Amino acid sequence: MLFDQGEQFQVTAGDATLRFILLSAPRIDEPIAWGGPIVMNTQDELDQAFRKLEEGAFIKQ
C-alpha cells in the first residue's frame, strides 16, 4: 500500500498475529520501469538488467 502524508498510522490485528514493515522515504519523482523483481528508470535499463540476469552478470560479488 502507498499512503500520502499524514501524522498517524494505525494497525489493528484483532486476534490474529500480525507482522508488517513500514518504510518511509522522500519522493524522488523519477520514472519507474518495473518488471517482476527488477525496478529501473527506463524500459531500456530494465531490458539490459534482464539480459545481465540471464548472463549471470546482474549481481556482482
The rounded average pLDDT for each run of 10 residues, N- to C-terminus, in the chain (61 residues) is 75 86 86 92 95 87 70
Q: Give domain status of residue 46, yes or no.
A: yes
Which contacts qualify for 36-39: CB closer than 8 Å, 24 or more apart? none
**pLDDT tens digits for range 28-40:** 899 999 998 899 9
Q: Give domain status of residue 50, yes or no.
A: yes
- Residue reference for cell 490474529: 16
Contact 43, 50 (CB under 8 A): no
Domain that holds residue 50: 31-55
Q: Give domain status of residue 43, yes or no.
A: yes
Q: Give domain status of residue 38, yes or no.
A: yes
pLDDT at 46: 95
When divided into structural domains, the chain yields a total of: 1
Q: Give domain status of residue 19, yes or no.
A: no
Read off the pTM.
Answer: 0.55
**What distances in angstroms separate CA 16 from CA 1, 8, 12, 13, one per listed residue?**
20, 22, 9, 6
Q: Give domain status of residue 36, yes or no.
A: yes
Q: Give domain status of residue 20, yes or no.
A: no
